[in-house]
Amino acid sequence: LTSLENMLFGMGNPLLDISAVVDKDFLDKFGLKPNDQILAEDRHKALFEEIVKRNKVEYHAGGSTQNSVKIAQWMLQKPHKVATFFGCIGKDRFGEILKKKAEEAHVDAHYYEQNEEPTGTCAACITGDNRSLVANLAAANCYKKEKHLDLDSNWELVKKAKVYYIAGFFLTVSPESILKVARHASDKNKIFCMNLSAPFISQFFKEPLMEVMPYVDILFGNETEAATFAKELGFETDDIAEIAKKTQNLPKENTKRQRVVVFTQGKDDTVATVGDRVTMFPVLDIDQNDIVDTNGAGDAFVGGFLSALVQEHALEECIRAGHYAANVIIRRVGCTFPEKPDYH
């Protein structure tokens, strides 16, 4: 089993999720809606200083790609360090916490550390069942290919992997790093996976996205992202199976592997291209009352999927593992999980 060490490589925006229970006054003070996701502006500076002073503050390592590789590691349990993770943090207390949290999750994180910008954070302001998320990329936005990815010791870790996963969010940070990894995977007939991540990626970062697309072996996304992507590419259809098919048929560099497209749709069936067909996979049933927080469900699905993929399981099995992981995560606050999976 030790052969699985560093088999999975992830690169993305490492953020420290800071969650605390707050009151309505706190939300009003910073002009927040109870249930929302926004990027931090200047007026939120004091929010981050205040939230850490509250009692019962919880720190969780976050960021989409990091969440996914962490879930993959959790699903596999042993050996440790199946996943390598690269991203940029600051030389500060939050950076130290991120390092500690990655270690506790047994992820082999190698961060590029710089002191221009502080470690990226995401404040989760919780009131009852609601959470208002305020993300501040900061250091995560400072990843540099030549300062980190290109270093021999780091590139050796990239070469060690067989499966690569990078969320679309990282296209806003370092498309040249993504391309270097994607080309390596393609040249060596290894598996490169990507995520559409959010509608704004297809809308405003279409150029870098399409530059990487020929190297993408497995593409993930949800129904909203799929629809936006189709619109941006002029597919002229809103049928998700048709979108999956057209996406699969986009130009591909490594012809030894047919592209696989996987679109999740919340409680509705997951749509996936299986060979030349498009197949629907029903998700696990869950009582609406058991859903605590669907945030992180997409990251968890990918994490479960990747855990089966690194073991070279069939696509159907990868999707089943993804559905299991997502089902566990939506019963809990944030992208957190119990000590061990109960998955067979």
Query: Contacts from 120-123 at CB under 8 Å and sequence distance 24+?
Result: 120/13, 120/14, 120/15, 120/16, 120/63, 120/89, 121/15, 121/16, 121/17, 121/18, 121/48, 121/94, 122/15, 122/16, 122/17, 122/18, 122/62, 123/18, 123/19, 123/40, 123/44, 123/47, 123/48, 123/51
How many whole angstroms separate alpha carbon 4 and alpha carbon 176?
27
Burial (Cβ within 10 Å: 0-12, 13-18, ≥19) of residue 187:
exposed
Is 187 in the active site? no
DSSP state of 290: G
- Contacts of 336-341 with C-beta under 8 Å, sequence gap 24+, read 336/60, 337/71, 337/74, 337/300, 340/77, 341/74, 341/75, 341/77
Choosing from 17, 108, 217, 299, which is the catalytic residue?
299
Q: Give how far the C-alpha of residue 71 lies from the chain's centroid of Cα atoms, to the nearest Å.
A: 10
- Residues annotated catalytic, as ranges: 299
